Amino acid sequence: MEHSGTAAAPHANDTAQREHELRAQDATISLTGDFQRPLTLTLNQLRAHASVRADPFDLRCFTTNRFIRKVDSYRGVLLKDLIEVAGLRNDRPGDFKRTIFIAVAHDGYAVTFSWHELFNTPIGERVLVAFERGDMPLSIDDGAPLLFSAADILPAPRHVKRLAGIVARVVAP
């Protein structure tokens, strides 16, 4: 052994600390694409934002109807509040009503929302980017930041772990 235990320990801690910092930097979400003011928020900035609380629920897959597990109540920021901070584009009158939002996870998993769904139906009142579960902070290992659409019939598809960001696209026929 070249290194004694005491010499190796600080080095190992430094490495762990650096990895932790890198992962903490990873815990940001970006709102990009067709927004007026694209932005990036850290998990801590999310925690400082006004938030809502969802009820506990059963996580169930759409494809298989498989019951996955019970999930305690999430607390998080409404997706539509974040979208309003980034600002909808309306270059031509009515463009904003044709905007879709793609929620993309770090593993490439992606789901969509429409402007009407978020701003003109009750679903939007219950789509949140969660940073807490059962009154405990969610860590990156728990899947934070995690997007969840609480009004969905089968919740698993739009229960997006490790959300990387929201991409806005004004779509045309």
Ligand X SMILES: Nc1nc2c(c(=O)[nH]1)N[C@H]1C(S)=C(S)[C@@H](COP(=O)(O)O)O[C@H]1N2
Alpha carbon separation from 169 to 98, 100, 114 (Å, rounded): 8, 5, 10
Residue 156 in the binding site for ligand X (CB under 6 A): yes
Footprint on this chain of Mo ion (rule: CB under 5 A): 61, 63, 156
Q: How far is residue 46's CA from residue 40's CA, in Å, rounded to a whole number?
A: 10
Residues 6+ apart with CB under 8 A from 84: none
Residues 79-118 that bind ligand X (CB under 6 A): 105, 107, 109
Residue 68 in the binding site for ligand X (CB under 6 A): yes
Residue 27 in the binding site for ligand X (CB under 6 A): no
Please check whether residue 144 is in contact with residue 43, taking contact to mean a CB–CB distance below 8 angstroms: yes
Residue 142 in the binding site for ligand X (CB under 6 A): no
Query: Which residue lies nearer to ligand X by CB, 133 or 159?
Result: 159
- Residues near ligand X (CB under 6 A) are 61, 68, 105, 107, 109, 156-157, 159-162
